[in-house]
Amino acid sequence: MEKDKIKIRKFLSRFFRKRELLDDEDIFSLGFVNSLFAMQLVLFIEKEFGIQVDNNDMDLKNFSSINSISQLIQDKRVA
């Protein structure tokens, strides 16, 4: 999971350049992202980790922090 988190943090750094994100920090509450971010994040997760995000995963909590994104990826790999 640590390797996943490094990749996720690197991707998110494009949107949060001036801030060192904590693993459990709510990225949607920080106000840095625009309306396109959610889909960019979905595409990143699918391409980088080879999983398909679908309707069952559409809970913002799954995408709200580095920890939760990493957990989603882990869960999808197991499923």
Partner 1 sequence: MRIELTREQMEHQEKFREFVSAEIAEGAKQFDQEEKIPDEVIKKISEKGYLGSMISRKYGGMEWDSITIGLLNEEFGKACSSVRSILTVHGMVALAIQRWGRDEQKDYWLPRMAKGEVIGAFGLTEPQVGSDAKSVETTAVKTDGKYILNGTKKWITMGQIADLFLIFAQCEGKVTAFLVPRDAPGLLIKPLGGLIGMRASMTTELKMEDCSIDEVNIIGKIGTGLSHIALSSLDYGRYTVACGCIGIAQACLEQSIRYSRDRIQFGKPLRKYQAIQKMITEMVVNTDAARLLCQKAGYLRDIGDPDSIMQVWTAKYFASIMANKVANNAVQIHGANGCSREYPIERYLRDARIAEIIEGTTQMHEILISSNAVRNY
- Residue choice 2, 3, 36, 78 for contact with partner 1 (CB under 8 A): 36
- Residue choice 2, 14, 31, 79 for contact with partner 1 (CB under 8 A): 14
32-35 long-range contacts (CB < 8 A, ≥24 apart) are none
Query: C-beta of 60: minimal distance to partner 1 in Å?
Result: 7
Rg (CA), the chain: 12
- Tell me, by CB under 8 A, how many residues bind partner 1: 21
Q: How far apart (Å, rounded) are the C-alpha atoms in residues 29 and 79?
A: 29
- Interaction mask 37-76, partner 1, x per CB under 8 A: -xxxxxxx-xx------xx--xxx----------------
Residues found near partner 1 in the complex (CB under 8 A): 11, 14-15, 17, 34-36, 38-44, 46-47, 54-55, 58-60
